[in-house]
């Protein structure tokens, strides 16, 4: 995990915003700011010079004092996939979760 320390270290109102996968888009940061939340956890958070949306996301987070925790794309999405195994089993279908690999380059 990687912390982008843009705000207060105290959690505001006990609220945390979470989005699995790649949730580093400007509209997400704006919504988190509008909700008054100061901690956001998502998968892909690496600022890429050639991808303006993620740069704008980080600027909005900084401007609104929102701390961002990057937890890798895979690590934030795998739990939904694991849950689907039970869903398919309940339908009588064989299923198995195959463990993948996280990439720290996402951070």
The pLDDT score that the predictor gives to residue 22 is: 86
**Residues of the domain holding 11:** 2-106
Q: Please write the tens of the pLDDT for every residue from 1-17.
A: 999 999 999 999 999 99
The pLDDT score that the predictor gives to residue 5 is: 98
Total structural domains within the chain = 1
3-state SS record for the chain: CEEECCCCCCCCCCCCEEECCCCCCHHHHHHHHHCCCCEEEECCCCCCCCCHHHHHHHHHHHHCCCEEEECCHHHHHHHHHHHHHHHHHHCCCCCCCCCCCCCHHHC
Q: Please write the tens of the pLDDT for every residue from 29-73.
A: 999 999 999 999 999 999 999 999 999 999 999 999 999 999 988
Q: Is the model's pLDDT at 90 over the cut of 90?
A: yes
The pLDDT score that the predictor gives to residue 100 is: 87
The pLDDT score that the predictor gives to residue 104 is: 82
Q: Which among 15, 71, 70 has a CA at the least distance from the CA of 38?
A: 15
CATH at 10 = 3.40.1390
Half-sphere exposure of 22 (CA within 13 A, CB side): 10
- Residue the block writes with tokens 């929102």: 66
Average pLDDT for 68-79: 91
Q: Is the model's pLDDT at 106 over the cut of 80?
A: no
């Amino acid at each position: 995990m990687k912390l982008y320390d843009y705000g207060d270290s105290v959690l505001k109102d006990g609220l945390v915003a979470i989005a699995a996968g790649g949730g580093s888009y400007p509209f997400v940061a704006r919504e988190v700011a509008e909700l008054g939340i100061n901690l956001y956890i998502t998968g892909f958070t690496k600022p890429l010079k050639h991808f303006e949306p993620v740069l704008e996301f980080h600027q909005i987070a900084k401007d609104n004092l929102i701390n961002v925790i990057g937890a890798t794309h895979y690590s934030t999405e795998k739990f939904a996939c694991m849950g689907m195994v039970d869903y398919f089993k309940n339908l009588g279908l064989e299923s198995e979760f195959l463990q993948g690999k996280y990439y720290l380059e996402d951070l």
